[in-house]
Amino acid sequence: VLLHAVEAGISTVRVYPSGRSVAIFGDSGARRSLLLSFPIRFREALVGSFADLAGLSTGRECVVESTFQLETETGIRAFRISVLRGLSGVETVVTVIPDLRSVIALDSIGFHPEQTEITRRLLSMQDGLILVSSPAAEGVATTIYAMLRESYRAGSRVVTVEETHRFRNDGYIQLERHEVEKRFGGKWTRLAETLEPDALMIESVSDKKELLDLVHIARRGIPVFCGAQGVNLSRTLETLFSLEVDPFLLVRVVRLVMHQRLVDLLCPECRRAVPAVPSLQLVGENYREKLETMVQEVTFYVRAGCPRCRGTGYSGKMALFDLLPFTPGVQHQIFSDEPLEEKLARIVGENLRSAFPSVEDLLRRGMVTFDDVFPFFR
Ligand SMILES: [Zn+2]
């Protein structure tokens, strides 16, 4: 059933009761199809056999989860299974973990061309720390994987630590955070010493202490890519420079700090053109002139809803980035005598490669609503 699901482009397989039967359904984006159906008395056995496949023992817990792999003639496929024990009995959900190779490249993640070029150049140095901050963890792993794929070819020892696996990459050593807790006492330095990676990816650092450990790992020559929660680029920089480490050392180790925000993309089937033009009043001064020009030239759209987008009006998301590369110029500015806050504000003001060109591009192509990208105009 699972291998058939992979072949048929099904992303999720669910086993749950349907009337007096227990049914196996396959979800592929917009479509749900019935794959198999059994008399209800086979319910426990059916769920149990999926759990066996993943080496899970299902007891009385409400939810148990695991990842597992199946080997086929064409390669290895990875799955995530959740067994849920609710009031109405036991159910299971198996998600196909997409193959990384088919989904991510550096020029498909929302950088505009200048940002792609800067990032490529910094990645080619194969050292230092690259920090991706974001209001929520969603999408950060995708961004880091795209950068890893750009700079580390087959044969490199890349170690990744995610909260839970979402992508599979044949060549990488992929760990989930709970495994790091168990095997290395949650210590990044111990992990780095034991596994000796060519590059290390941490999806999400939880506090300053962890971030500081990663700075030291990068200082010892292991390139580190890490995600961190943050409201904007300036705040993330403040966090970085509040670490208990010599700022001279810090600017030599950090290569790139970026802040990522996700925007919803309009469903192209049902988006509606609107004559109304956005109000210029709340728009930041730097952007007012730009927006005035765009209002003359661009058709603005709002969302509607259709069967293809399940009535949401959106189809997919895109990550947009503010980038601050730590160029020699930035390194130099860090050493000036100004107070830290003013210094950082000036550095951001003069060196930021903002997401704005991507935002303008999306608006001109009618792929986003003005309301959804309004925060970029502040
Ligand atoms: Zn639609």
Q: DSSP alpha helices (H): ranges in the chain? A: 2-7, 43-53, 113-123, 140-151, 177-184, 188-195, 208-219, 233-241, 247-253, 285-297, 328-334, 340-351, 356-364, 370-373
CA 358 to chain centroid, in Å, comes to: 18
Distance between Cα 302 and ligand 1 center (Å): 11
User: Measured between alpha carbons, how far is 146 from 185 in angstroms, rounded to an integer?
Assistant: 28
- In order of 178, 201, 206, the CA distances from 183 in angstroms are 9, 17, 18
Helix, strand or coil for residue 286? helix
CA of 206 to the centre of ligand 1 (A): 37
- For ligand 1, the distance from its centroid to the CA atom of residue 14, given in whole angstroms, is 25
Task: Quote the ligand 1 centre to 271 CA distance (angstroms).
Answer: 7
> How many Å lie between the centroid of ligand 1 and the Cα of residue 303?
8
Residue 75: predicted pLDDT? 64
Ligand 1 centroid, distance to 308 Cα (angstroms): 5
Instruction: Find where tokens 């935002």 sit.
Output: 359
Confidence at residue 276, expressed as pLDDT on a 0 to 100 scale: 66
Residue 208, pLDDT score: 93
pLDDT profile of the chain (378 residues), mean per 10: 86 89 88 91 88 75 77 73 81 81 67 91 93 92 89 82 79 87 90 93 93 95 95 92 90 95 93 81 84 88 91 91 92 86 90 93 92 90
Rounded to the nearest angstrom, the distance between the alpha carbon of 346 and the centre of ligand 1 is: 43
- For residues 219 and 205, give the distance between their C-alpha atoms in angstroms, rounded to a whole number: 17
User: Ligand 1: distance of its center to the CA of 362 in Å?
Assistant: 17
3 state SS of 366: coil
Residue 229 Cα to ligand 1 midpoint, Å, equals 31
ipTM of the predicted assembly exceeds 0.95: yes
Q: Give the model's pLDDT for residue 58.
A: 63
Domains of the chain: 2-97 (3.30.450.90), 102-262+319-355 (3.40.50.300)
Q: What is the pLDDT of residue 293?
A: 87
Sign of CA dihedral 359, 360, 366, 370: positive
Give the pLDDT score at 90: 82
CB count within 10 Å of CB 49 equals: 13
**What's the CA angle centered on 130, arms 129 and 132, to 5 degrees?**
140
What residues are paired with 66 via a beta bridge? 81
Q: Are 132 and 142 contacting, i.e. CB atoms less than 8 angstroms apart?
A: no
State the distance from the centre of ligand 1 to the C-alpha of 170, rounded, in angstroms.
35
The CA 266 to ligand 1 mean position distance, Å, reads 8
Q: Compute the distance between CA of residue 195 and CA of residue 172 in angstroms, rounded to an integer.
A: 12
**Token pair of 315, please?**
């189809």
